[in-house]
């Protein structure tokens, strides 16, 4: 079936370095993607989104890249900080936007 | 309220008992979602409400699970005859109109079935 998945379950990054978290999707008709951050004991929080008419979108220290050719998106975090330690999910609406499917998640560990 | 509120935050119950989990979405949000998250896992879709209607119940794991929403606001997720495999964090989220926009999540209810 259609799914959203992540390549790397755990990513360890030195503080100050850049982080890249990857996500693959299988539904070529998908036109909207969202990245969420989930800190321990909390619900996921919206970070950034991108629509399929864009290849790149930037926020504060975060950039999302979308490659529709290979059905891949990535989240880049610049100058990673300890507060960035969390699990990151990509998500994709489906079923006429009634269902939002989440990937397994990538745990980002920032090494001080 | 200012955000999505879920109660209780923690629930410990005995196998075979029924439990009710409550979600108060952000005022004015018409779409409401329930997800289940097992330890170290991703989010498993359970059910979606648009207003008081649930057009997609495909994620409910069994007929022991049910959910309702009243007044286009508060939602309750009921699990009957709980089993140990029901132990998980149950997350609720809401949005203004649906899934083509960001969801706002509550902090979840940690359910432990002994």
Task: Indicate the SS3 state at residue B89.
Answer: strand
Q: Is the pLDDT of residue A4 over 60?
A: no
According to DSSP, the residues that pair with B1 across neighbouring strands are: none
In chain A, residues 24-43 whose CB comes closer than 8 Å to chain B: 32, 34, 36, 41-43
pLDDT at A6: 43
Half-sphere exposure of A4 (CA within 13 A, CB side): 30
Cβ contact A100–B41 (<8 Å):
no
Q: Average pLDDT of A44-56?
A: 95
Asked if B98 lies within 8 A of A93 by C-beta distance, the reply is yes
* Cα(A109)–Cα(A39) distance, integer angstroms: 11
- Mean residue pLDDT across chain A: 88
Question: Could you tell me where the beta strands, DSSP code E, fall in chain A?
Answer: 4-5, 10-14, 19-25, 32-38, 45-51, 56-58, 62-67, 72-77, 86-94, 99-102, 106-111
Mean pLDDT of A17-29: 90
pLDDT band of A61, cuts 50, 70, 90: very high
Please state the rounded mean pLDDT for residues B82-110. Answer: 93
């Amino acid at each position: 079936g259609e799914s959203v998945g992540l390549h790397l379950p755990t990513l360890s990054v030195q503080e100050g370095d850049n982080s890249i978290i990857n996500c693959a999707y299988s539904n070529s008709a998908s036109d909207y993607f969202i990245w969420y951050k989930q800190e321990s004991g909390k619900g996921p929080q919206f970070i950034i989104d991108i629509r399929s008419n864009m290849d790149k979108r930037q926020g504060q220290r975060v950039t999302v890249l979308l490659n529709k050719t290979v059905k891949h998106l990535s989240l880049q975090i610049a100058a990673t900080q300890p507060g960035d330690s969390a699990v990151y999910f990509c998500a994709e609406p489906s079923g006429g936007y009634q269902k939002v499917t989440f990937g397994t998640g990538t745990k980002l560990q920032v090494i001080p | 309220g200012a955000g999505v509120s879920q109660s209780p935050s923690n629930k410990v119950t005995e196998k075979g008992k029924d439990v009710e989990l409550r979600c108060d979405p952000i005022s004015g949000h018409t779409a409401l979602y329930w997800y289940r998250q097992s330890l170290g896992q991703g989010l498993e879709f359970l059910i979606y409400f648009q207003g008081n209607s649930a057009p997609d119940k495909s994620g409910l794991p069994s007929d022991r699970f049910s959910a309702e929403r009243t007044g286009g606001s508060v939602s309750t997720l009921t699990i009957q005859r709980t089993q140990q495999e029901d132990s998980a964090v149950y997350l609720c989220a809401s949005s203004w109109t649906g899934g083509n926009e960001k969801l706002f999540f509550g902090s979840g209810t940690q359910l432990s079935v002994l």
